[in-house]
Structure 1
């Protein structure tokens, strides 16, 4: 049996960032992860960092590589009716976003843990949570060497994603669940080719939504709206590039889509999901374990960062002095931001996607909204303010 102050389930950006924030507060934590270090460092996920996320990583001393390799963006493009409309993020808000892959943040945080000798156990199995409604909850698991282990904590942080063990460890009647399924999915492509545009392009087209993004000066990330049940086998590389050209083209000849070798492709259904509260006893949920947003608003990883910033501040007085004030308000504090992000992500998703049911009334409404955002400084500012990230203390 091992004692620690906080047990953290999951070594994604949420779990690792929480562990490091607690370390800076002088609080001991152990991170448990079922996957290998190599897997979590290579797992490609979101790449848009809001300004508050970037500032936090700089502030705690893990932003050096982000500063060197991250790609700051001061605007984005909304493309519809064959025309391109730039939303000047920095001009409207004084802030920007930075494109820097989630897996790169994970690498930086793991390196920081290794440099400080902070414990992260990879390739564990059989993780189970116990005694959550007591002041000494426990985690049992089997370590990478096959040894049965038990971790006794003052608190447990469930940072293990939507499919992890943390949320299912809470009695079902203790949670309220909100789950909204969208009638479309994204076909995501990672291609070895320089980006075709210096900024992100969000496109609404009669054939469906498309997104042009990037992960580095050499790697482009692209998405197409498809049906949720669409087999990936129906999308050979040539068809993907042809469809991207159809949807991303404009009435001018300024934009030329660069193609290249497809490194990865997958189809991901889209959903909005929230559980309330984000706490049960001494178990605190953070990130995808508590909420999912459709990726259109680029909010998922940034919400997780905001969660664990709040959680680190709540756990410090709880484990030091048994002061539960901030711990008791943790869920309400996080959910205010979560629901704002859920609404913005729903708004962006609805506005930009083609309704597969062919509801022409809805189509007209969404096009009207796009035209308003593209022509109104007030509407564009609202979109920009939400996109670059509201202050953590909002």
Structure 2
């Protein structure tokens, strides 16, 4: 098999990279070790920054997003007795959209299978080779058990934290990893409950953080701060709803409830791997970085990565110019660290940890954001997405 770009991983990063390259006339093949059904069922992030919406729309993947997604103009910050609204358009002129990563993935797969480049599911034994040369290859076993070799000009590793691509890049001289594990996790639920809020609620509470989000006009997505060692079977639906009601309590307002259709516990950590390139192998998305979900940055960072990478690869493969691929890692990592800091800051401000001294510091920071326009604007600019350096 022969192609220009071999893409390992069919999450949103790999699929969007394939789409952007195809639109510019660059041949590519996408390899995925899971089934289509598994990939389309993964529950992930739900907040899309403005640049993500614009990128998907420009790539012809925005029709269902604009029909079914929900544009949001701000968030509510809450601590006991106070709920304050941040108006994003007034603060920074941008908005965000609620549209699940699962739906983005479905849209990208549908477009890929409707006459797009090859997308091979259920491959195994994937090994990128000769990435330090101008003729890398990917060895793999296809779904029928046949050994295959995909000859490429470039390999893109969009296969997540546990994928095969990052270790190959890390073997390069100077490879480095930064990591922080947080002393709390999120218990998340999907519920068939009409949202009782117009915007997302980020709530600090002495008993722990809570987040009220949504996926549609009839489905709510809610989260509770829990201990990382907690087990989901310890949390009955009634216990979850009682804790949500306590942590989100506000006079004259109640949490709307309904049948819980999915629940899980998500550990929280920050992770950055550098560089994001070795020779002709480039990393994007979770293969290179992970952020806690508080700042709604994970999916959006992946989209930013592949937007930069697609532009760089087109310039390399069609114009034989190396300037953008040579600067890709540094440019991508500059945004990664900005988003990593914002995610850490939001997480540290809102999650209960430490003693009462720490609690007062958190409340002081929240009051500052709620009372200062410059402080509120800083949050709004980062939350809605800083301009993308192409």
Q: TM-score range by the shorter chain?
A: over 0.9
Superposition deviation, residue 145 in structure 1: 1.2
Partners of 2:227 and 2:46 in 1: how far apart? 24
Within 5 A, what are the aligned runs for 1:82-161?
82-161=81-160
Superposition deviation, residue 317 in structure 1: 2.2
Superposition deviation, residue 141 in structure 1: 0.7
Partner of 2:376: 380
Partners of 1:321 and 1:146 in 2: how far apart? 38
Partner of 1:163: 162
* Alignment check: 8 A CA contact 2:48 2:98 kept: yes
Partner of 2:349: 351
Within 5 A, what are the aligned runs for 1:232-381?
232-250=232-250, 252-253=251-252, 255-355=253-353, 358-381=354-377
Deviation by residue 1:34-77 (Cα, 9 ceiling, x = unmatched): 11111111211101000111111111211011110010000110
Q: TM-score scaled by structure 2?
A: 0.98
* Alignment check: 8 A CA contact 2:170 2:274 kept: no
Superposition deviation, residue 9 in structure 1: 0.6
**Considering only aligned residues, what root-mean-square deviation do their CA atoms show, in Å?**
1.1
Deviation by residue 1:228-271 (Cα, 9 ceiling, x = unmatched): 11111111111111111010001x21x21111111111111110
* Alignment check: 8 A CA contact 2:169 2:276 kept: no
Partners of 1:175 and 1:366 in 2: how far apart? 35
Superposition deviation, residue 102 in structure 1: 0.6
Deviation by residue 1:268-293 (Cα, 9 ceiling, x = unmatched): 11101001111111110000000001
Partner of 1:393: 389
Partners of 2:277 and 2:247 in 1: how far apart? 43
Deviation by residue 1:149-176 (Cα, 9 ceiling, x = unmatched): 1101111111011111110223445411
Partners of 1:196 and 1:102 in 2: how far apart? 22
Superposition deviation, residue 197 in structure 1: 0.8
Superposition deviation, residue 81 in structure 1: 2.3
Deviation by residue 1:172-201 (Cα, 9 ceiling, x = unmatched): 454110001111111111111111211100
Partners of 1:136 and 1:363 in 2: how far apart? 56
Bigger drift between 360-369 and 151-160 goes to 360-369
SS of alignment partner, residue 15 of structure 1: helix
The gaps in structure 1 that reach 5 residues or longer are none
Partners of 1:340 and 1:185 in 2: how far apart? 22
Partners of 2:195 and 2:180 in 1: how far apart? 33
Partner of 1:13: 12
Superposition deviation, residue 130 in structure 1: 0.9
SS of alignment partner, residue 180 of structure 1: strand
Deviation by residue 1:99-152 (Cα, 9 ceiling, x = unmatched): 001111111111111223321001111111111111111111111111111101
> Displaced runs of 4+ in structure 1, greater than 3 A?
171-174
Bigger drift between 107-116 and 26-35 goes to 107-116
Q: TM-score scaled by structure 1?
A: 0.97
Partners of 1:113 and 1:162 in 2: how far apart? 24
Matched, 1:34 2:30: no
* Alignment check: 8 A CA contact 2:169 2:278 kept: yes
SS of alignment partner, residue 179 of structure 1: strand
Partners of 2:333 and 2:188 in 1: how far apart? 29
Superposition deviation, residue 320 in structure 1: 2.8
